[in-house]
Chain A
Amino acid sequence: MKKVFGRPKSMKSNPFHYCAGCGHSIAHRLIAEVIDELGIRDRTIGVPPAGCAVLAYNYFDVDMIEAQHGRGPATATGLKRVLPDRIVFSYQGDGDLAAIGTAESFHAANRGENITVIFINNAVYGMTGGQMAPTSILGQKTTTSPVGRNNILDGYPIKISEIFAILPGTTYIERCTVTSPASIVKTKKAIRKAFQYQIDGQGFSLVEILSPCPTNWKMSPPEACRWIEQTMSKEFPLGAIKDLPAEEMKKQQKGK
C-alpha cells in the first residue's frame, strides 16, 4: 500500500503538550514538513522561544538552542554569523517578538540577518495564563484587560508584519493563519518560501501565523477559528505584505 501521510522526518515522536485546537502544533508540523521537503534537516538549527513553545526542542528533530524570552533573533544572529551556510530559524510568540524582544527582532530584521522567523500571533500571552499581549485587539478581554483592551489605557495592537515590511533588511513577510485546510496549505507555502529565501541568501524573512489559543480565549477550537476569521484577521489582514524578488534584493545589496 502506498503511504500518503506520516510523521515528518524532522519531527520527533513525542506527543505535543499543546492544548487541543492550539495553532502551535499545526505550525510545528508545517515547519517540519518544509524542512523535510527542502532537504535541509541536517543543516538546520532552530531557536525556540519562551512561551507555550518553549519545549519545541522536544518536537523538532533538528539541532535546537534555547533562547531567553525575546532574545531568539539575537541568538540566531550569533549562530548564523559564525555558521553562514546553516539554516537558522527562530520561533516566537507575540509576547516574545512584539513585547520583550521587539528590539532584538526589529534590529535583526533591519540588519537583514539571513534568518527566518516564524511568528505565532495568538493575541495573548498563552503560557503565563492569558494576559494581554501587544497584539491583543481593542476590546479583547484578557486577564490583564478584564473589561477589554482599551486604547487609552492599554495602547493599540501592534502590527509587526507591516512595521517590519518597511525595513530595507527584510525580504519576505506574509501573514497567514491555520484555521482551515485551505489556510494551512497557504501557510505551508509561505513557510517554504521564507526558508527558500534564506537558502538563497536573500536576508530576513518572517511568516506571521494568526493562531488560535482556545484555552485563553475561553472558546472551543471551532469558535477560536471563527474568531480569527471574523474578528482577528480584520485587525491583522492576511496575505503577503512584502515579497522582494532576488533581483531587487541584489540591487539593494550593491550598497553593502
Chain B
Amino acid sequence: MQGNKIIGEAAIRAGCRFYAGYPITPQNELPEYMAENLRKVEGGVFIQSESEIAAIHMVIGASAGGARSLTSSSSPGISLKQEGISSLAACELPAVIVNMMRGGPGLGNISPSQGDYFQATKGGGHGDYRMVVLGPASLQEIADLTMDAFDIADEYRIPVMILADGMLGQMMEPVVFKKPKPRNYPESLVMKGAGGGKSKIIRGLILDPLDLEEHIWKLQRKYRMITEREARSELYQTDDAELVIVAYGTASRIAKGAIKRLRKQGLRVGLFRPITLWPFPSQQLRDLAKKVGNFMVFEMSAGQMLEDVLLALQGKARVGFHGRPGGVVPTPIELANVILRKYNGKEGLIDTEL
C-alpha cells in the first residue's frame, strides 16, 4: 500500500470518523482514500473543505462533538492550519494532523523535505503551547504511529502531528495493521447539548492574565508529563560506535544506507533516530553521549533539529551537521562520502564548526 493511503486505513481502523481537508501535493491520496472509504463506515464524515483554515476548524467542531478527527496537508497548507492548531491546544481538544512536508519556504516545490521541523515542534501557531509530533521512517511505522497518534491525542487532549514527507507519502511498502486499542474517551468531555443538565463551554479565551497564566502552567505540567512518558527513539548500530548520525524520517533511511556501506569498510558508525520529534528524546540522546563523543546531524533542511540536538547534548559531545534543503534527496553514497570526509580519526571524528 502507498504511504498516504496507509494513514487513511490506519485512521479508520483506529476509529477516526471525521476527515476534512483541502487538496495539496504530495498528500492527495489521503483525502481521496477517505472520500472513498470513510463514508462507507457508519458515522464516517468526509468533507473536502474550501481551504486548510476551514478544514482545521471543522476538525475543532468535530473533535468537540466527540469524533476522532483527522486532517492532512503539506507545508503551505499546514501554515494555514496553525490558527486552528493553536485553538486545539488552547481548548485541549484532541485531533490528528498529517504534514507530508515539501520544499519551502513559500510555495517552494513539491519534493520531499524536512523544512517544517521548527514549525511543527516549536509551535507554528501563536501562544505558549506544544503539540506531539511523530516522525515515522517507514510505512509500517506510519501505520503504527497513526493509530498511536489518536490514542495520544485522546489521552492528553492534545493535537498530534504526523510529520513525514512526500517520499514516505508516495512510496509503497507492505504493512501489517496492528489491532487498535479500544477507545477510552469520557462522554463527559463531549460537547453535545446540555441534555437537561448544566451547559458546557469550550473556549480558549481567558481575559484575566492571571487566569490565562494558570491555564498555561496547567498545560505546561501536561507537556512535562508527556515528555517524561512519551519520548521515543531508535538506536541502530550504536553499541561500538565512534560516530553517531542523528536523523529522523526519510533522512534516517538514507543514513541507514550510508551506515551499512561504511560499516562494510570497517568504520564504526551508528544512528540515533528520534521517533517523537516533540517531545524530543533528549534524555536518550544524552545517555548515548556518555559512550559516544561524536555526533553528526543529518537533515533534509538547512539545519533545524540540529538545535534540539545541541540543546540536548549541552556541549558534552562534538556535533557536526550535513543538510540538503529545498527538496533535494541525497543518496546514501553521497552521505557516506560526507561522513568519510569528516571521519579523520585524529582530532576527533567531527569538525565542530557547523
Q: Which residues of A contact B (CB under 8 A)?
A: 41-45, 47, 54-55, 57, 60-68, 71, 74-83, 86-87, 103-104, 106-107, 111
Contacts and interface: CB of A to CB of B under 8 A. Distances in A.
8 contacts: A61-B194, A65-B191, A66-B87, A67-B57, A74-B49, A78-B64, A87-B193, A107-B54
B283 interface: no
Contacts of A81: 18, 45, 47, 58, 61-62
A3 to B, nearest CB: 23
Contact of A71 (B53, B194, B196, B199): B53
A60 B200 CA distance: 10
B91 A74 contact: no
Given A42-B196, A64-B202, A75-B60, A82 B20 contact: no
Contacts of A61: 194, 199
A31 to B, nearest CB: 14
B17 A82 contact: yes
Contacts of A60: 199
Nearest to B60: A75
Given A42-B193, A62-B193, A86-B192, A78 B51 contact: no
B62 A78 contact: yes
A62 B202 CA distance: 12
Contact of A74 (B45, B54, B199, B202): B54
Interface string B188-232: 000111111001111111000000000000000000000000000
Contact of A68 (B17, B20, B57): B57
B193 A57 contact: no
Interface centre among A47, A55, A81 (most CB of B within 10 A): A81
Nearest to B45: A81
B98 interface: no
Given A81-B45, A83-B192, A75 B58 contact: yes
Nearest to B196: A42
Contacts of A106: 50
A49 to B, nearest CB: 11
Contact of B194 (A62, A77, A80, A111): A62
B202 A77 contact: no
B74 interface: no
B65 interface: yes
B270 interface: no
Nearest to A74: B57
B58 A77 contact: yes
A78 B192 contact: no
Given A71-B84, A74-B53, A75-B57, A82 B65 contact: yes
A78 B69 CA distance: 9
Contact of B205 (A43, A54, A82): A54
Contacts of A47: 61
A130 B66 CA distance: 38
B282 interface: no
A79 B201 contact: no
Contacts of B203: 57, 64-66
B67 interface: yes
